Amino acid sequence: MTDIVFMFEVHQPYRLDRNAYNKLLDKALRGSLEPSDLEEAIFDNGLNKLVMERASAKCYIPATSIILENIKRFKNTGKPFKVSYSISGVFIEQAQRWTPRVIELFQELAGTGMVEFVEQTYYHSMSAFMPIKDYAELREQVREHRQLMRELFGYEPVSIENTEFSYNNDIAWLFSTMGYRVVLTEGVDWVLGWRSPNYVYKAYGSDIRVLTRNYRLSDDIGYRFSDRSWDQYPLTADKYAAWLSATPGDVVFLAMDYETFGEHHWPETGIHEFLKWLPGEILKYSHLYTSTPGEVVEKYPPRDVIDVPPWSSISWADERDLSAWLGNHMQRNAFKMLVDLRPYVKALGDPELLRIWKLLTISDHLYYIATKFGSIEQVHSYFSPYKNAPDAYAIYVQALSLLAGMIAEKLPENRVKVAYNLEVPMDKAFYFYKPTGEYTGIHASSIRELIEALDRVPKESVLYHLRRGDIQSWLEHVYGLKDLVDEINEATTPTTPADEAIRSVRRILKSYFNK
C-alpha cells in the first residue's frame, strides 16, 4: 500500500509601489500623515488586485472547483480523494478583499472533511531566520495563522511547514513544542543520502515527524508539464498515475505551488484536464490511496532520523538552501534593516505600524532581490514585478526607510513608554559580571528585565557596575535616558552603602517608569 499526499502552496504577496514617496508627499499636502496612509502608499494595491483577479480566474476558482468535484465524486467510495492546502494569511486577506468566491470554495472544501489545512507563518515570512530571542516573531506569526484557520475554516492544524519548506533541527524542535505532529520539508539529496523521500522520518532532537517532498515527481507537474522539449511531454493523467504506481515507499509526498494549475501552466496547456482526471487514474490502482500529512504520520512509523543543523538550513527553492532570500549582500543588508526596526515597532505598540512591518517580512520582497544565473534566474524573473534585483532592492529599502521615518516621528512622543518596552538585541544587552570578572549568567535585554535582575543578581555585582557607571552608561547610550541617569548618579554616590544604593536604583527605575 502507498499513500499519495498532495499539498498545494497557496500564496500571493503584497507587492511594493515604486511611487510610494510621491504618494506620501501628495497625501501630506492635504493634511497630516497616519500609519494607514503609509500602508496605502507603500503597497501597490492596483497591481495586487490585478494579479489576484487574474490568478483567481485562471487558477484558484477553476482548479479548486475541479478538486471539489473530485472529492465529492469519490467521497462515498472505499477510496476517497484527499488533499491538503497551505494558505498564507496575506493570500486570504487579498482573496477576501478582491475575489471572495475563492474563499467560499475553500470553505466548501473544508466542509467535506477530506481536506487538511497546513499551518505556516501568516505573512509567509523568513521570521525563522531572524536573530530574535526564543523565535518570538516566528511563534507570533504561526499563532496568527492558527487563529485565522480557526476563524475561517473552524480548523486546528496538526501539520506545519515553515515558509517555502525552509527547515532545520531547531525549527522542527520549536514546532514540536508548539504541539504540531508533523513538519513538511524538501527531500534534499544531501540530507537523505541513500534514503528515499517516500517514507516518514523523525526530526533530530525532537519527536515531531517529518515528511520530505518527492521533488522529482512534484516538479514533473510543477515545472515540466508544459515543456515541449521534455522527453516525457505530453504528461497525461494515466501516465503520471502509472509512475506513482511504480514508485516504492510508504508515502509519496507531492507539493507544488497552487498556481501550477492555470497560472504557471495556462489552461490552454491542458493542465485543468490533467487535474480533472488524475484522481480517478490514481485510485484505479488497488495499492494507491490518497491521504493527508496528519493521517500518514499516524499510519506509518518513522524509518529514520532527519538531521539538518541550523547552519545548513534547507528549502525547496533554487539550490535547496536559503540563497533565494539571503544569498547576496543586498538581501542580507535589507533583512538586517528589517530586523533592526522590529524592537522599535514592538515598543511603540502601534498596531498599524506593526502591521506594516509584518507585511514587509513577506519573503517575496527578498526573493525579488536575488541575483542568480541560468534557469534559476529565469524563475526569479518570472515572479518578480521589477526590472532586476537592484531595482527590487531600491524599492524595498524605500519602503523600509518610509517606515523608519514614521517610527522616528512617533518615538519622541512616547519616549518613556518606548524605553520601557524596548527589547534590544543580544549584542546590546546588559551583562552582569562579578568584581572578579566572572560572568553571573544573568543579562538584561530590556529595562523591564533590568529591574527584575536587580533582585537576582549578587549585590556585589550590582554595586560593581554602579560604581563603574556601567548601568548608567547602558541607560544613556542604548535608551537615551540622560535625565534618568542623572537621577541615579545623585542617589548613588561612591560613599552610599551597597544596600541603600541598590534600593535607590530600584526605586528610581520603578518611579520613572511608573511601575
Residues involved in catalysis: 164
Report yes or no: 342 and 132 within 8 Å, Cβ to Cβ.
Answer: yes
Unique residue bearing C-alpha cell 506513482: 244
Q: DSSP letter string over 97-137?
A: HH-HHHHHHHHHHHHHT-EEEEB--TT-B-GGGS--GGGHH
C-alpha pair distances (Å), 205 with each of 168, 171, 186, 220, 363: 11, 11, 19, 33, 27
CA 437/CA 444 separation, integer angstroms: 18
* Angle between helical axes of 482-491 and 470-477 (0-180°, round to 10): 160
- CA distances 65 to 61, 83, 93, 100, Å, are 6, 13, 20, 14
d(CA 20, CA 423): 30
> How far is 128 from 172, CA to CA, in rounded Å?
11
Assigned C-alpha cell, 334: 535589507
| Cα 221–Cα 222–Cα 225 angle in degrees, nearest 5 | 45
Q: Is 182 exposed, middle or buried (0-12, 13-18, 19+ CB in 10 A)?
A: buried
- 124 vs 97: CA distance, rounded Å: 18
* Residues 485/428, Cβ–Cβ less than 8 Å: no
Residue found by looking up cell 535585554 in the block: 445
With H, G, I as helix, E, B as strand and everything else as coil, classify residue 88: coil
Peptide linkage before 494 cis (omega within 30 of 0): no
Smallest Cα–Cα separation from 52: which of 3, 16, 24, 90?
90
Pairwise CA distance, residues 288 & 370, whole Å = 40
Q: What single letter denotes the amino acid at residue 503?
A: R
57 DSSP assignment: I
CA distance 246 to 320: 26
CB under 8 Å to 381, separation ≥6 — which residues? none
Asked if residue 325 lies in contact with residue 38, where contact means CB atoms within 8 angstroms, the answer is no
**Could you give the C-alpha distances from 3 to 69, 288, 364, 481, in angstroms and in order?**
21, 6, 32, 62
Does residue 250 contact residue 4 with C-beta atoms inside 8 Å? no
